[in-house]
Structure formats: C-alpha cells, structure tokens
A and B are shown apart, each in its own frame.
Chain A
Amino acid sequence: MPILGIIASSKFGDVGDFESIATTLLTATASSVTFSSIPATFDHLQIRYISQTNRATFGRDVVRLQINSFAVSNYASHFISGDGATASAGAETTANNVFILSGVAGTTTAGADFFGASIVDILDYKNTNKNKTIRTLGGVDVNGTVGGAGGEVVLQSGLLLSTNAITSLTLQPNTGTLFSVDSHFALYGIRSA
C-alpha cells in the first residue's frame, strides 16, 4: 500500500532476468524507506537509488540498510572509500552498527540539487542455508568541499548473520533525520536460468 506522501508502485509476475519489483519516489520528506513483502521468486536483489538527507555542515551522508527488522547484533560491514583527498578503509562491528552500511547520500547543506547515488546488491537473499552478503557502490560529488569535507565514493560489504530469507529492506539516513523530496529508490529482482 502506498505510504502517504510517496508515489509507490509495484508489480509482480512479469517474467524476465532483471525485473522491477517496486519503486518509491519521495514527494514528501521521509525518515526511512521500506520495501516489504519481497517475493522469493528471484535469486538476487538490487536497490538502485539517488538520495539526499538533511544532514548539517557537510555535503555527504551515509545511508544504512536494515533487513527483516533484525536486531543490532546481526550485522557487520567493511568499506573502502575516497573523499577526493584521502583513501580510507574500515569496519563496523555489531557494537556500534545499527544498520549495514549501504551507500551515500547528498545533503541539503551542499545545495538543493545535490543528490548521492548508490547501487546495493543483496546476494542469494532467499537462501535459508547461509548468512547473507551485501555489497554496495555509492558516491556523492559536491564539486569540491562542503564544511571542509569532500564528496565520497565508497565500496562497502555487509554481512547479515542470519539464515532467514530476506523479505523486507529498510533504508534510512545515518546522520540526517530525513530523506529529501525527489529521493528515488528502486528495487529489482535478478533471476538465474
């Protein structure tokens, strides 16, 4: 069911190798975006999105992904990133990790038109014999620096310590509290032969 303030659409049942499952275009700010009741008819999932948050001071924000409403202790993430000046690598453990790292957003602080973009692959999402692995390519460029920090390009990996099939995905800003209007999130299913 579409959430108030969101143009949402979904279709199930078209046969193809790469299918659109559902799309959310924000027409009002939102604290999170959820894809629920994901069918188990594919082999992999991909989320492709552009987003912006209301984070202050800087031109970039992190986006996080929660799966099936699992608790904090189920997640871990690693990343490499570059901000235009420095290359970095790091990890998050369950101690401080609420959601898996899953991309980058622009911010209203950089300007009204600056949006980040990310592509999130959720592999073998319905397999009940293994933990789940996620990888993300994300980035935002701010044409220089904002608040003394550049944009960011990131490669992230995530681990969900659960053998449950994935049926819902929730994206939310890390530092900002709201996704902006015109943020656009699309979920696709990928099917093998």
Chain B
Amino acid sequence: MPITYEPIATTTVGSATAEVTFSGISGSYTDLVAVITGTRSTTGNSVLVRINSDTGSNYSTTIIDGDGTSAVSERGSNMSSGIGVAAWKGNGSDQMVVIVNIMNYANTTTYKTVLSRYGQAGTGTEALVGLWRSTAAITSLTFRSDNVSNLFSVGSVLTLYGIKAA
C-alpha cells in the first residue's frame, strides 16, 4: 500500500552544531517538508537552507514578518548563503518552530521554490518564499547560518518528510 506522506530522516542535535545536512535525497517524492524545532545558540541568527551544496549567488528570499507591533517585508537577492527559512527575529533562548516546504524538488525543468513558516513565541512570526535558480533536481539540503559556528543548540530536532502525489 503506498504511503503518501512519510519521514525520510531525522537528526537530533547532540552537541551544538553549525549545520545539519540531509543528503542522498531520492527523487521519488513530489514535495519535501522539513520540520525544525529547537533553539539557536545565540540571538539574532537566521536559519538558511543551502541546496545541493551550491555556493553560488543563486538564492533569493522574500519575507513578511510581524513582531506583535508591526509587520514588515524584506527581500534578499543573489544570495550565496542559501534561502532564508527563519530570518531576522531570532531569540537564542526561546523554542522556534520552522516548517519548510520544498516544492516539486525533483523536477528538472523549473527553478525551485521554497515556502516556509517560522514562529517563536517570544519574538514573532514569519512567512517566507525562497528561490533557488537552478533546474537541477534537489538531492541535498543543508540547514545553516552564515555567521555562527554553532547554530542549532543541543536537543534541536530536524525531520525531513516526503510527500508523494498520485
């Protein structure tokens, strides 16, 4: 019996780490969903996703966020650090929840679009859309920051799911 929505891999951070990578992702799903829960080692660090280890300036992100007082929108273009999935409102001590949808990741005819929702009760909430300007199929995802050596604190959990269309 086919399973439509299934876990692919889970990483529980045992010691603070700068990045977590899911590699060897098969092309057998339609979309990928990454769920991140945990804390960051210091305040103010965004979480990015780098795709297929691409270090070129091929990423961009558009964001709307609210902190309980106001809403703002920002964008980053020609980024080399990755797509933003949890951006500017980091607080090192509070739990964050990030849900990242990597849409139609295995097709080889379109650029790839990533939709994310991020929330941290003590700071705010965000919705983000990101673009990776490549038509290559996605086979690896690295969740990281570009400015800290230990982004994810001990106990943070990152799980990757696959969704398979008929």
Contacts and interface: CB of A to CB of B under 8 A. Distances in A.
Contacts of B115: 117-119, 137-139, 153
- Chain A interface extent, by class: 35 or more
B64 to A, nearest CB: 3
Contact of A84 (B4, B62, B114, B135): B62
Q: Chain B's interface: helix, strand, loop or mixed, by majority?
A: strand
A18 B72 CA distance: 34
Contacts of B130: 141
B75 A84 contact: yes
Contacts, number: 162
B64 A153 contact: yes
Given A141-B130, A144-B60, A84 B3 contact: no
A80 to B, nearest CB: 7
Interface of A: 9-11, 14-23, 48-50, 52, 80-87, 89, 104, 106, 113-119, 137-144, 150-155, 182, 184, 186, 188
Contacts of B31: 48, 186
B127 A141 contact: no
A20 B62 contact: no
Contact of B2 (A14, A115, A140): A14
A87 B71 contact: yes
A138 B62 CA distance: 11
Nearest to B132: A141
B101 A84 contact: no
A40 to B, nearest CB: 18
Nearest to A24: B165
Nearest to A118: B115
Interface stretch (B38-46, B104-112, B139-147): B104-112
B74 A50 contact: no
A163 to B, nearest CB: 29
14 contacts: A14-B2, A16-B3, A81-B73, A82-B62, A83-B73, A84-B62, A85-B75, A115-B104, A117-B103, A137-B115, A141-B60, A152-B129, A153-B64, A186-B165
